[in-house]
Amino acid sequence: MNTPYRNASIAARDLAVVWHPCTQMKDHERLPMIPIARGQGVWLYDFDGQRYLDGISSWWVNLFGHANPRINAAVREQLEQLEQVMLAGFTHEPVLTLSERLVHILPAGLTRCFYADNGSAAVEVAVKMSFHYWQNVGRPHKRRFITLSNSYHGETLGALAVGDVELYKKVYQPLLMDVITVSSPDCFLREPGCSWEEHSRRMFAAMEQALAEHADDVAAVIVEPLVQCAGSMRMYHPLYLSLLREACDRHGVHLIADEIAVGFGRSGTMFACEQAGIRPDFICLSKGLTGGYLPLSVVVTTETVYQAFYDDYTRLTAFLHSHSYTGNPLACAAALATLAIFEQDRVIERNRILARRMGAATAELAGHPHVAEVRQTGMILAIETVRDKASGGIYDWRERRGLRAYEYALAQGALLRPIGNVIYMMPPYVIEPEQIDWLAGVARGAVDAACA
């Protein structure tokens, strides 16, 4: 490539000034940093002319490829009109059209959109709003939250508190609010011969018990519908959500659906909650909301919740929460272009075909001596590697087997970033069937590399 920049020189400059997210920086003494010059469709290109298929949609955000012409055009057009205005006391066309579109496509009854600028901030909003709702309606004791084991809702202190991934949470525990943690319906842990549905039903008993015991003190239950993504892509049956909705209603507790990772077609339906036919009291959306272009998040809630905050100012019931970039017009324009693609291209239907291809292309891995399970929900496919298949003995995390898989995939030209011992594919929806087959081949090699 005829450019003055090369990977090595950029990486060296980077390491002098940038502190990277979710990274032990010392790893980069050995592990090369990969400077990306540009993106096109499913591909990311570095400065040395190498390309990488973005097999995990750049942390699950990208839906329709990098440099998508339609989203590019929408952002460019918006840029000529208005780049940003505060959303308190002001509004703009992209945010109100986006709100109308979201209310139209979300489960009926979710009618009020409150914006923030990243997933964790949306979780903070939902948690604060639920707590505050109960204050406003004269139930101040309802201030606790029920969460599932192995759940993940973000890294800010409130979001971290309602999550349960020890690796991210443990050190900050003294700073976090106390939550009630109920065993996850994670179907990887089901007994042999037990179906996902039956396991999810059985696991609901613990949730029912927690609700019965604590309902007077609990504001909301928060869950990731169907897939605990950061929790090693563990999955469960929609029945659990149906049972949870019914029980939350019965016990007078809010249900917060964190669809930040699974929303916008990832689970096989536009929103994962649709598969259980439920409407949560709060739905948190981000990531794919803008097609992976710009930071934006939204919490959509009900008229009942909204009305509990609506009063004379002096009664001090308003939700006085804000972020500077709330509802940024450029991000809203990207989101509108993203929703237009969903409509114009019949994306959910195409995804069904792609998802089947992902399943077929990885099916034989189930027989691999170090693969305990290949599981899938829509456009998420996960391969659980184990040391010993018969006993279920797992690899010690210190062996960093996933890192071997990551490095192997990069060498082949694919971005796969395993979570612990789980290698997964979560590609942009513009991936071609042949590219799925190729990526599955890389995943197969990555399993071998990890388990060697």
Q: Write out the residues near ligand PMP by the rule CB under 6 A.
A: 118-120, 123, 152-154, 224, 229-230, 258, 260-261, 286
CB of 187 vs ligand PMP, minimal distance in Å: 18
CB of 118 vs ligand PMP, minimal distance in Å: 4
CB of 352 vs ligand PMP, minimal distance in Å: 23
Contacts of residues 362-370 at CB distance under 8 Å and 24 or more positions apart, as own/partner, are: 362/425, 362/440, 362/443, 362/444, 365/443, 365/444, 365/447, 368/444, 368/447, 368/451, 369/451, 370/447, 370/450, 370/451
Q: Which is nearer to ligand PMP, 260 or 450 (CB)?
A: 260
Q: Which is nearer to ligand PMP, 119 or 440 (CB)?
A: 119
CB of 34 vs ligand PMP, minimal distance in Å: 20
CB of 16 vs ligand PMP, minimal distance in Å: 26
Q: Which is nearer to ligand PMP, 21 or 369 (CB)?
A: 21
How many Å from the N-terminal Cα to the C-terminal Cα in the chain?
Answer: 35
Q: How far apart are the C-alpha atoms of 222 and 155, rounded to whole Å? A: 15
Q: Which is nearer to ligand PMP, 94 or 154 (CB)?
A: 154
CB of 267 vs ligand PMP, minimal distance in Å: 12
CB of 155 vs ligand PMP, minimal distance in Å: 6
Q: Which is nearer to ligand PMP, 286 or 412 (CB)?
A: 286
CB of 228 vs ligand PMP, minimal distance in Å: 8
CB of 443 vs ligand PMP, minimal distance in Å: 21
Q: Please identify which residue in the block is written with the tokens 């109960």.
A: 134
Query: Which residue's Cβ lies closest to ligand PMP?
Result: 119
Q: Which is nearer to ligand PMP, 285 or 341 (CB)?
A: 285
Q: How many CB atoms lie within 10 A of CB 56?
A: 22
Q: Which is nearer to ligand PMP, 47 or 282 (CB)?
A: 282
CB of 193 vs ligand PMP, minimal distance in Å: 30
Q: Which is nearer to ligand PMP, 283 or 410 (CB)?
A: 283
Write the secondary structure of the chain as one string of H (helix), E (strand) and C (coil).
Answer: CCCCCCHHHHHHHHHHHCCCCCCCHHHHHCCCCCCEEEEEECEEEECCCCEEEECCHHHHCCCCCECCHHHHHHHHHHHHHCCCCCCCCCCCHHHHHHHHHHHHHCCCCEEEEEEECCHHHHHHHHHHHHHHHHHHCCCCCCCEEEEECCCCCCCCHHHHHCCCCHHHHHHHHHHCCCCEEECCCCHHHCCCCCCHHHHHHHHHHHHHHHHHHHHHHEEEEEECCCEECCCCCEECCCHHHHHHHHHHHHHCCEEEEECCCCCCCCCCCCCHHHHHCCCCCEEEECHHHHCCCCCCEEEEEEHHHHHHHCCCHHHCCCCCCCCCCCCCHHHHHHHHHHHHHHHHCCHHHHHHHHHHHHHHHHHHHHHCCCEEEEEEECCEEEEEECCECCCCECCCHHHCHHHHHHHHHHHHCEECCCECCEEEECCCCCCCHHHHHHHHHHHHHHHHHHHC
CB of 259 vs ligand PMP, minimal distance in Å: 8
Q: Which is nearer to ligand PMP, 290 or 351 (CB)?
A: 290
CB of 93 vs ligand PMP, minimal distance in Å: 25
Q: Which is nearer to ligand PMP, 261 or 283 (CB)?
A: 261
Q: Which is nearer to ligand PMP, 78 or 267 (CB)?
A: 267
Strand order in the sheet with 43-46: 36-40, 43-46, 51-54, 414-415
Q: Which is nearer to ligand PMP, 168 or 319 (CB)?
A: 168
Structure tokens given for 396:
């010690």
